[in-house]
Chain A
Amino acid sequence: SQTIHQWPATLVQPVGSPLSLECTVEGTSNPNLYWYRQAAGRGLQLLFYSVGIGQISSEVPQNLSASRPQDRQFILSSKKLLLSDSGFYLCAWSRGLAGVNEQFFGPGTRLTVL
């Protein structure tokens, strides 16, 4: 069976500090990978998605970046965090062949920027 891991679960960082959130998927190959951010009480906003190693598409302009160094690893980074980067970050994967397959989400990382 497939599983998706995210870490850390919670993170408190000062403004201007760097960020690295990691997501890994087990039990599948060549997944589509996604990073979402959820503001408190709101829906999910797609930040980045990747259809393969080294292939990253950005959905919204921001000071975040994403990388996919391995097939089942997806990393969300920032060089300097802003207060507005606070939120709940969810990684997700889906099967790569058809667009109508459901996404499976990781447990999320709650980021607070002070």
Chain B
Amino acid sequence: AQKITQTQPGMFVQEKEAVTLDCTYDTSDQSYGLFWYKQPSSGEMIFLIYQGSYDEQNATEGRYSLNFQKARKSANLVISASQLGDSAMYFCAMREGGGRAGKSTFGDGTTLTVKP
């Protein structure tokens, strides 16, 4: 069965510094996708970044990058130059590659607080 583990319930970072949010996963599938979502206090889930299991390069989207280490089954999110607006809960998720539905498994999240 798929499982996502986020070991950091809460993280603090100083504004303008970089922060890494950890995510490890477990799956027997060869094809899968890894995602990071941001959930501000308003509750909406905002898609940040995606990494495919066959992608050889780490994904990047603006200030977000995904440190993908397939052998270690880790998919850490790196946020560079943190901003106050980055304070939110962050979820790592994995979706099966096979089948049409592509159901996602989510971790329990990490609450990030950016300090001014």
Contact = CB atoms under 8 A, between A and B. Distances in A.
Contact of B108 (A42, A57, A59, A110): A42
Contacts of B4: 43
Interface stretch (A15-23, A69-77, A78-86, A101-109): A101-109
A32 B102 contact: yes
Interface size class of B (residues with CB under 8 A): 20 to 34
A99 interface: yes
Contacts of B106: 36, 43-45
A13 to B, nearest CB: 18
A49 B47 contact: no
A43 B100 contact: no
A17 B5 CA distance: 36
Interface of B: 4, 31-33, 35, 37, 42-45, 47, 50, 52, 91, 93, 95-109
Given A46-B103, A88-B43, A99-B33, 6 more contacts: A32-B101, A43-B108, A92-B45, A99-B99, A102-B50, A107-B44
